[in-house]
Structure 1
Amino acid sequence: MITINNLTVKYGEQVALNIKSSITFKKGDRIGIIGSNGAGKSTLVKAILGLINYQGKIHIEIKPEQIAAHMQENNYVETMKIKYVMEAILNTKIKKNRKLQELIEFFNFERCLNKKFSNLSGGQKQRFTIIMVLMQDSPLVFFDEVTSGLDFETRQQLMSKITQWYEEKDTTICIVSHYYEELDNIAEKILILEKGNVVDFGYKDDLFRKYCGNSIIIIANTESNMAIIKEFKKIEAPEHLIAISCDDDDEEMDIMKLLVINDVNFKRSNNDIEIMSINAKASFKRGLEGGVRNECKAI
């Protein structure tokens, strides 16, 4: 579907994206694109869509008009009722288009049709744009921070709807998000970016095992908890948490028994995207530092 080779994007003298290795998005892939602010996530999407200049090669097997995209900022006419904006852009009448009716009902958007765009809430504006994207029934879809700025419940509802809509379809979906929990149910592959570089790309389960082990046990980061699990292997985690890596089921059971005996609350996971990405980026950074040290020794 998409193949990227030696892609570089610059804003003035600043390198915003620098992808050296070849990356391929296949038909039917469900890809989550993650990274810190300024990692190059939106820049990558804009380059693929041809919205910015770049150096290198991006080969797309379909025509540009066959791609649908939900970008971070979407502006529409604010002086007309939203139903007329919808009909004008889609060149169809709601009353005559069964698919459009189904989408409006699917996203509980009926009561918004007579409102102006400026009077819609953040969640309603997102629903409107998502309906416009899904109506295109494109083989390749990009969602760039589709739930940014929305409360947790609204984010969950929207992602659940999107996941449900594409459940039986072979659409290639690329979702840019900094909300890791949004990608749990829809993303099968993860592309991790950091400061314009590719940290890693692959199936979510493979990346978790690569950087976290068979599973992890997560507990609060306290001195007492640290003392209890001091003999076990710990990996990188958010500051308020401790993540213990388990190589197999026996080790996992030993850790959980110890925590139960000591009355410590814990969470077990074999797919935590946030902790996986933290460790992937830490490994990538160590590799860069090791490369710098080796070059210095060579000199």
Structure 2
Amino acid sequence: MTAPIISLKNIDVTFTPKGKTIHAVQDVSIDVQKGDIYGIVGYSGAGKSTLVRTVNLLQEPTSGSVLVNGETLFDKQENQPSHKVKGQELKEKRRKIGMIFQHFNLLNERTVEENVLFALENSKEKEGVKKEKVHELLELVDLSDRANQYPSQLSGGQKQRVAIARALANDPEILISDEATSALDPKTTRQILFLLKKLNKEYNLTVLLITHEMEAVKAIANKVAVMQNGRVLEKGSTLDIFTKPSAELTKEFIATATNQDQAIEAISQSDAVSDLAAGQLFAQLTYSGNATNEPLITSLYQHFGIVANILYGNVEVLQETEVGSLLVILSGDTKNMDAALDFLAAQSVSVNILKGEQA
């Protein structure tokens, strides 16, 4: 495997306001390959934005190392000499890392064109070349007809498109999206996520997607890390995390993103689940890839005499792979039930017992 474009190793970030110690990021290591859309998800205060700001040293780590494109921007280890890129060299490195934010950060007194042009203020290119580039970027984000308007005349989605065009002005290899869709309505959020996916595919742009919404990760990310209290709870491919989550917080995020939490809550109140008989289990089955083509329910009955009453089912495509979820009541002999659950595990089906003797 090629070297990662971003490598964060053992990152710690500690603040001491008024003598109180706050561990915002604790021993986090993440590798991002070129061309990834890497989602970092967590609730407010998880430390995800603080972590990502160490990539371009907008936030200096207390300890750890930051490598971008194989170059060490920061390194501070216990009992070792520290290293940090500074001054003009750091400015040059930052130009290759674009950033977009929740609140757009546009200059209200400047037009759309002037806002994007502002990012090229220190470029040595001629003014005509700069303006041509701005026009190309506005066309890319579908805002050519808004060049002479001011931010106050734009919708939230249009403002974010201006911010994206501005972030792309210096031809970055990395784009950091820090809660960039949080202030947008669902339809506009989908449009912005689609644009980020388009930039990723067409320009091989590496995207760091910081969000508290697993739905955004599900939509476009190929990898994900889940953070809580400054630590990474788990990380991996989006497909693996969605089909085999281990941390309770991850399960909570996924249930919300797939609407499974609503289905479980509603079905749990039904008579069928409220009055489970002995030997019955209320369970969630999650499966992906080839397992979606197997007659699992039929096999449970044929081989083990286990009857599966399907109460809810959903199949969607995640990273070009089919992922299915079923809420079922499993009924049958206890010994056969154990064998049936082992069979499902052997078929790469994740089983979450929600209610019953094995819960």
Checking the alignment, whether the CA contact within 8 Å between 1:94 and 1:101 is kept in structure 2 is no
Partner of 1:17: 24
Q: Give the deviation of 1:265 after TM superposition.
A: 4.8
Partner of 1:35: 42
Partner of 1:87: 117
Q: Give the deviation of 1:7 after TM superposition.
A: 1.6
Partner of 1:258: 309
Q: Secondary structure at the match of 2:196?
A: helix
Q: Give the deviation of 1:160 after TM superposition.
A: 0.9
User: Of 171, 174, 182, which residue of structure 2 is paired with 1:148?
Assistant: 182
Checking the alignment, whether the CA contact within 8 Å between 1:82 and 1:113 is kept in structure 2 is yes
Q: Give the deviation of 1:256 after TM superposition.
A: 11
Partner of 1:285: none
Distance 1:256 1:50 in 2: 57
Distance 1:37 1:75 in 2: 20
Partner of 2:230: 196
* Residues 1:268 and 1:256: Cα distance change in structure 2 (over 3 Å): farther
Q: Give the deviation of 1:228 after TM superposition.
A: 8.7
User: Of 5, 9, 26, which residue of structure 1 is paired with 2:9?
Assistant: 5
* Residues 1:35 and 1:211: Cα distance change in structure 2 (over 3 Å): same
Say which is worse superposed, 153-162 or 203-212, in terms of deviation. 203-212
Q: Give the deviation of 1:122 after TM superposition.
A: 1.6
Q: Are 1:158 and 2:192 counterparts?
A: yes
Stretches of structure 1 that go unaligned for 5 or more consecutive residues are 235-242, 276-299
Partner of 1:68: 98
| Fraction of identical pairs, as percent | 25
Given the two structures, how large is their TM-score scaled by the length of structure 1?
Answer: 0.72
Q: Give the deviation of 1:69 after TM superposition.
A: 1.3
Residues 145-201 of structure 1 show CA distances to partners (whole Å, capped at 9, x for unaligned) of 111111111111111122112213333211112232222342111011011111011
Structure 2 counterpart of 1:82, one-letter code: V
Residues 73-97 of structure 1 show CA distances to partners (whole Å, capped at 9, x for unaligned) of 4433322323233334335768875
Partner of 2:355: none
Distance 1:21 1:96 in 2: 39
Distance 2:174 2:140 in 1: 21
* Residues 1:87 and 1:3: Cα distance change in structure 2 (over 3 Å): closer
Q: Are 1:116 and 2:146 counterparts?
A: no
* Structure with the bigger percentage of strand: 2
Residues 27-80 of structure 1 show CA distances to partners (whole Å, capped at 9, x for unaligned) of 222201101111111111122221223211232234333211113344333223
Partner of 1:207: 241
When Rg is computed on C-alpha atoms for both structures, the one with the higher figure is 2
Say which is worse superposed, 169-178 or 221-230, in terms of deviation. 221-230
* Residues 1:204 and 1:48: Cα distance change in structure 2 (over 3 Å): same
Distance 1:116 1:154 in 2: 19
Structure 2 counterpart of 1:66, one-letter code: K
* Residues 1:256 and 1:129: Cα distance change in structure 2 (over 3 Å): farther
* Residues 1:191 and 1:250: Cα distance change in structure 2 (over 3 Å): same
Distance 1:246 1:87 in 2: 49
Greater relative contact order, per chain length (Cα 8 Å cut-off, separation 6+): 1
Distance 2:195 2:307 in 1: 35
* Residues 1:169 and 1:109: Cα distance change in structure 2 (over 3 Å): closer
Checking the alignment, whether the CA contact within 8 Å between 1:49 and 1:64 is kept in structure 2 is yes
CA root-mean-square deviation: 3.6
Distance 2:187 2:53 in 1: 29
Distance 1:180 1:21 in 2: 20
Structure 2 counterpart of 1:79, one-letter code: E
Distance 2:209 2:171 in 1: 16
